[in-house]
Amino acid sequence: MHDTGPGSPPENAGDGSDGTPLRRRENRPVTFDRRRSVPATFDIGAALELHLDQCKTRRSMINLLEQWLAEARNRDQASQNPEYAAALERALEVMGKAPDVETAIVMLQRR
């Protein structure tokens, strides 16, 4: 039971609703949207890192990337994503030029 008599704290005390109006609750239009529009990117480095236990050598990582790229290109036109294919091609280049697999993954994750 809550004590609602004189001198007791209001019911909403301590629940964070200290009377600050939220513009979305009042259906006011948003004059400035603080969210940035960031283009979707593909973190191929993170995906490769998940496969480090399975693909321990550069050749096995390159084979994995080539498999992903072939699958990306063989999808029907409606589900193809050219940015994904480009990210895979770039990952193949980085994997081929990096001194080792781990360095290549780090390089891919930094971009």
| Cα 15 to Cα 80: distance, rounded to the nearest angstrom | 48
Model confidence over 13-50: pLDDT tens digits?
555 555 665 555 566 666 666 666 656 678 999 999 99
Helix (H, G, I), strand (E, B) or coil at 95: helix
Query: What pLDDT, in 10s, does the model give residues 61-102?
Result: 999 999 999 999 888 776 778 899 999 999 999 999 999 999
pTM here?
A: 0.62
Distance CA 39, CA 81 (A): 13
Predicted pLDDT of residue 36:
64
φ, ψ for residue 6 (rounded to 5)? -65, 140
